[in-house]
């Protein structure tokens, strides 16, 4: 019985830490991954239709500079946007 007590005492910090780390990672990673998945699909929440894969078409149609989906993200990361 004493061996079990020592084993638990040694590993008690991991018993509480690991589930917390898993929970925090899930709360951070799920929205990021879900947003990436949704950005490649066309989906209307009000209509009862399945998702349609459109790839980079949604990014290119929402760009500021026609025909260049990557240049539209430049203002987001520039220091002047602040």
Alpha helices in 1-82 (DSSP H): 2-39, 57-61, 74-77
* pLDDT digits 0-9 by tens, 15-49: 889 999 999 999 999 999 988 888 788 777 776 77
pLDDT averaged over the chain? Answer: 75
pTM to 2 decimals?
Answer: 0.54
Alpha-carbon gap, residue 58 to 55, rounded angstroms? 7
Q: What is the token pair recorded at 9?
A: 């005492």
């Amino acid at each position: 019985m004493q061996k079990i007590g020592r084993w638990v005492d040694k590993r008690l910090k991991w018993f509480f830490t690991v589930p917390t780390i898993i929970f925090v990672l899930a709360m951070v990673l799920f929205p990021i991954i879900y947003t990436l998945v949704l950005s490649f699909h066309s989906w209307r929440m009000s209509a009862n239709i399945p998702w349609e894969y459109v790839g980079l078409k949604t990014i290119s149609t929402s760009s500021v500079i026609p025909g260049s989906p990557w240049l539209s993200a430049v203002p987001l990361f520039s220091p002047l946007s602040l």
